[in-house]
Structure 1
Amino acid sequence: MVMMSSLLVMAVLVMVPFLLASARYVVVRTGRPDWLRHALAARTPRHGLGVGASVADELHAFLNSAKRVEIEHRVEEQVLKDDALDGAPPRMGVDLEAGTAVVRRKPKP
Protein backbone atom coordinates (compact mmCIF):
# COMPACT_ATOMS: atom_id res chain seq x y z
CA MET A 1 0.00 0.00 0.00
CA VAL A 2 2.82 2.39 0.87
CA MET A 3 4.61 1.54 -2.34
CA MET A 4 1.51 2.25 -4.41
CA SER A 5 0.93 5.61 -2.73
CA SER A 6 4.57 6.65 -3.26
CA LEU A 7 4.30 5.74 -6.94
CA LEU A 8 1.11 7.77 -7.20
CA VAL A 9 2.77 10.79 -5.58
CA MET A 10 5.75 10.54 -7.95
CA ALA A 11 3.44 10.23 -10.95
CA VAL A 12 1.55 13.35 -9.85
CA LEU A 13 4.81 15.25 -9.31
CA VAL A 14 5.90 14.46 -12.85
CA MET A 15 2.65 14.45 -14.82
CA VAL A 16 0.94 17.58 -13.46
CA PRO A 17 3.81 19.99 -14.29
CA PHE A 18 4.28 18.23 -17.64
CA LEU A 19 0.61 18.66 -18.56
CA LEU A 20 0.60 22.29 -17.43
CA ALA A 21 3.76 23.03 -19.43
CA SER A 22 2.27 21.31 -22.49
CA ALA A 23 -0.95 23.32 -22.20
CA ARG A 24 1.07 26.55 -21.84
CA TYR A 25 3.09 25.65 -24.95
CA VAL A 26 -0.05 24.99 -27.00
CA VAL A 27 -1.72 28.23 -25.89
CA VAL A 28 1.37 30.37 -26.54
CA ARG A 29 2.00 28.78 -29.96
CA THR A 30 -1.57 28.80 -31.27
CA GLY A 31 -2.63 32.08 -29.68
CA ARG A 32 -6.02 30.72 -28.63
CA PRO A 33 -7.62 32.01 -26.42
CA ASP A 34 -6.09 35.43 -26.91
CA TRP A 35 -6.47 36.66 -23.31
CA LEU A 36 -4.72 33.56 -21.94
CA ARG A 37 -1.91 33.83 -24.49
CA HIS A 38 -1.17 37.40 -23.37
CA ALA A 39 -1.19 36.39 -19.71
CA LEU A 40 1.12 33.42 -20.30
CA ALA A 41 3.47 35.27 -22.64
CA ALA A 42 3.97 37.97 -20.01
CA ARG A 43 5.01 35.33 -17.45
CA THR A 44 7.14 33.19 -19.79
CA PRO A 45 10.89 33.77 -19.40
CA ARG A 46 12.86 34.53 -22.54
CA HIS A 47 15.47 31.91 -21.67
CA GLY A 48 15.89 28.96 -19.35
CA LEU A 49 13.75 25.95 -18.61
CA GLY A 50 10.06 25.93 -17.99
CA VAL A 51 8.53 24.84 -14.70
CA GLY A 52 7.69 21.35 -15.94
CA ALA A 53 11.23 20.70 -17.15
CA SER A 54 12.68 22.02 -13.89
CA VAL A 55 10.47 19.75 -11.81
CA ALA A 56 11.31 16.76 -13.97
CA ASP A 57 15.04 17.54 -13.67
CA GLU A 58 14.83 17.84 -9.89
CA LEU A 59 12.94 14.56 -9.59
CA HIS A 60 15.49 12.89 -11.85
CA ALA A 61 18.30 14.36 -9.72
CA PHE A 62 16.63 12.99 -6.59
CA LEU A 63 16.70 9.50 -8.06
CA ASN A 64 20.06 9.73 -9.86
CA SER A 65 23.07 11.55 -8.40
CA ALA A 66 24.74 11.98 -11.82
CA LYS A 67 21.85 14.23 -12.87
CA ARG A 68 22.55 16.48 -9.86
CA VAL A 69 26.13 16.91 -11.09
CA GLU A 70 24.83 17.76 -14.57
CA ILE A 71 22.42 20.39 -13.21
CA GLU A 72 25.15 21.99 -11.09
CA HIS A 73 27.50 22.03 -14.10
CA ARG A 74 24.81 23.68 -16.23
CA VAL A 75 24.32 26.41 -13.61
CA GLU A 76 28.09 26.92 -13.35
CA GLU A 77 28.41 27.27 -17.13
CA GLN A 78 25.75 29.98 -17.15
CA VAL A 79 27.66 31.96 -14.52
CA LEU A 80 31.11 31.70 -16.12
CA LYS A 81 32.04 34.30 -18.68
CA ASP A 82 33.58 33.44 -22.05
CA ASP A 83 36.43 35.67 -23.18
CA ALA A 84 38.15 35.45 -26.53
CA LEU A 85 41.40 36.44 -24.85
CA ASP A 86 41.47 33.38 -22.56
CA GLY A 87 42.97 30.99 -25.09
CA ALA A 88 44.93 31.09 -28.30
CA PRO A 89 44.40 33.91 -30.78
CA PRO A 90 41.11 33.49 -32.59
CA ARG A 91 41.17 32.35 -36.19
CA MET A 92 38.09 34.38 -37.01
CA GLY A 93 36.87 37.77 -35.90
CA VAL A 94 34.25 40.28 -36.96
CA ASP A 95 34.56 43.99 -36.23
CA LEU A 96 31.10 45.47 -36.70
CA GLU A 97 32.20 49.06 -36.21
CA ALA A 98 34.93 48.91 -38.87
CA GLY A 99 32.91 46.59 -41.12
CA THR A 100 35.72 44.03 -41.45
CA ALA A 101 35.95 40.28 -40.99
CA VAL A 102 39.20 38.38 -40.45
CA VAL A 103 39.66 34.68 -41.22
CA ARG A 104 43.09 33.09 -40.70
CA ARG A 105 44.16 29.71 -41.98
CA LYS A 106 45.53 27.10 -39.65
CA PRO A 107 49.30 26.81 -40.06
CA LYS A 108 50.32 23.59 -41.79
CA PRO A 109 52.57 21.35 -39.71
Structure 2
Amino acid sequence: MVVFASVMAITVPVIFLFLFAAGRQVVLRSGRPAWLHRRLAARRRAGGGVGMGTAAFDELQAFFNSNKRIQIEQRRVELILPDENHNGAPPRTGVDLDAGTAVIRPKA
Protein backbone atom coordinates (compact mmCIF):
# COMPACT_ATOMS: atom_id res chain seq x y z
CA MET A 1 0.00 0.00 0.00
CA VAL A 2 2.88 2.36 0.77
CA VAL A 3 4.44 1.70 -2.64
CA PHE A 4 1.14 2.50 -4.37
CA ALA A 5 0.78 5.71 -2.38
CA SER A 6 4.33 6.81 -3.23
CA VAL A 7 3.86 6.03 -6.93
CA MET A 8 0.59 7.99 -6.96
CA ALA A 9 2.26 10.89 -5.13
CA ILE A 10 4.77 11.10 -7.99
CA THR A 11 2.39 10.28 -10.86
CA VAL A 12 -0.47 12.67 -10.05
CA PRO A 13 1.66 15.87 -10.24
CA VAL A 14 3.23 14.67 -13.48
CA ILE A 15 -0.19 14.03 -15.03
CA PHE A 16 -1.38 17.45 -13.81
CA LEU A 17 1.67 19.12 -15.40
CA PHE A 18 1.06 17.32 -18.69
CA LEU A 19 -2.58 18.41 -18.73
CA PHE A 20 -1.52 21.96 -17.91
CA ALA A 21 1.05 21.91 -20.76
CA ALA A 22 -1.57 20.53 -23.17
CA GLY A 23 -4.01 23.31 -22.25
CA ARG A 24 -1.24 25.86 -22.73
CA GLN A 25 -0.53 24.51 -26.21
CA VAL A 26 -4.21 24.70 -27.11
CA VAL A 27 -4.31 28.36 -26.08
CA LEU A 28 -1.08 29.15 -27.95
CA ARG A 29 -2.25 27.44 -31.16
CA SER A 30 -5.84 28.69 -31.18
CA GLY A 31 -5.19 32.21 -29.90
CA ARG A 32 -8.25 32.13 -27.65
CA PRO A 33 -8.75 33.67 -25.16
CA ALA A 34 -6.71 36.54 -26.55
CA TRP A 35 -5.54 37.92 -23.18
CA LEU A 36 -4.16 34.55 -22.11
CA HIS A 37 -2.56 34.00 -25.53
CA ARG A 38 -0.71 37.33 -25.29
CA ARG A 39 0.52 36.52 -21.80
CA LEU A 40 1.68 33.00 -22.66
CA ALA A 41 3.31 34.10 -25.93
CA ALA A 42 5.29 36.78 -24.08
CA ARG A 43 6.52 34.23 -21.54
CA ARG A 44 7.38 31.77 -24.30
CA ARG A 45 9.77 34.21 -26.01
CA ALA A 46 11.42 35.20 -22.74
CA GLY A 47 11.85 31.66 -21.48
CA GLY A 48 13.84 28.77 -22.76
CA GLY A 49 15.33 25.51 -21.62
CA VAL A 50 13.49 22.43 -20.44
CA GLY A 51 9.80 22.77 -19.65
CA MET A 52 8.29 21.96 -16.29
CA GLY A 53 6.47 18.88 -17.58
CA THR A 54 9.62 17.51 -19.18
CA ALA A 55 11.64 18.01 -16.02
CA ALA A 56 8.97 16.27 -13.92
CA PHE A 57 8.74 13.37 -16.36
CA ASP A 58 12.54 13.02 -16.40
CA GLU A 59 12.58 12.85 -12.60
CA LEU A 60 9.84 10.21 -12.68
CA GLN A 61 11.87 8.17 -15.15
CA ALA A 62 15.00 8.59 -13.01
CA PHE A 63 13.05 7.19 -10.05
CA PHE A 64 12.51 3.92 -11.91
CA ASN A 65 15.63 3.85 -14.12
CA SER A 66 19.04 4.82 -12.71
CA ASN A 67 20.47 5.37 -16.20
CA LYS A 68 18.12 8.32 -16.66
CA ARG A 69 19.75 10.03 -13.66
CA ILE A 70 23.09 9.83 -15.52
CA GLN A 71 21.51 11.43 -18.61
CA ILE A 72 20.03 14.26 -16.54
CA GLU A 73 23.38 14.96 -14.88
CA GLN A 74 25.17 14.89 -18.25
CA ARG A 75 22.67 17.41 -19.68
CA ARG A 76 23.26 19.67 -16.67
CA VAL A 77 27.06 19.45 -17.14
CA GLU A 78 26.78 20.26 -20.86
CA LEU A 79 24.80 23.40 -20.06
CA ILE A 80 27.47 24.59 -17.64
CA LEU A 81 30.64 23.76 -19.61
CA PRO A 82 31.74 26.04 -22.46
CA ASP A 83 31.16 24.85 -26.00
CA GLU A 84 34.38 23.61 -27.60
CA ASN A 85 35.19 22.64 -31.18
CA HIS A 86 34.11 19.01 -31.29
CA ASN A 87 34.93 18.31 -34.92
CA GLY A 88 38.66 17.76 -34.31
CA ALA A 89 39.75 20.16 -37.03
CA PRO A 90 42.67 22.50 -36.36
CA PRO A 91 41.65 25.98 -35.25
CA ARG A 92 41.12 28.57 -38.00
CA THR A 93 42.98 31.26 -36.11
CA GLY A 94 46.04 31.23 -33.93
CA VAL A 95 48.57 33.66 -32.49
CA ASP A 96 52.14 32.69 -31.69
CA LEU A 97 53.48 35.40 -29.37
CA ASP A 98 57.03 34.02 -29.27
CA ALA A 99 57.46 34.03 -33.06
CA GLY A 100 55.33 37.17 -33.54
CA THR A 101 53.04 35.54 -36.10
CA ALA A 102 49.29 35.27 -36.51
CA VAL A 103 47.60 32.54 -38.56
CA ILE A 104 44.17 32.95 -40.16
CA ARG A 105 42.92 30.09 -42.34
CA PRO A 106 40.00 30.67 -44.75
CA LYS A 107 36.89 28.55 -44.48
CA ALA A 108 37.00 25.60 -46.85
Report the TM-score, using the length of structure 1 for normalisation.
Answer: 0.68
Q: How many residues align?
A: 94
| 1:85/1:17 CA distance change after superposition, 3 Å | closer
- Tell me how far apart the structure 2 counterparts of residues 69 and 4 of structure 1 sit (CA, whole Å): 26
> Letter of the aligned partner of 2:52 in structure 1?
V
Percent same amino acid among aligned pairs?
47
| 1:65/1:52 CA distance change after superposition, 3 Å | same
Report the TM-score, using the length of structure 2 for normalisation.
Answer: 0.68
Q: Specify every segment of 5 or more residues in structure 2 that has no aligned partner in the other structure, as ranges.
A: 93-105
> Letter of the aligned partner of 1:17 in structure 2?
L
| 1:26/1:90 CA distance change after superposition, 3 Å | farther
Deviates more, 1:3-12 or 1:73-82: 3-12
| 1:75/1:4 CA distance change after superposition, 3 Å | closer
User: For 1:71-109, what per-residue CA distance to the aligned partner results, in whole angstroms no more than 9, with x for missing partners?
Assistant: 111111122222449943269xxxxxxxxx732xxxxxx
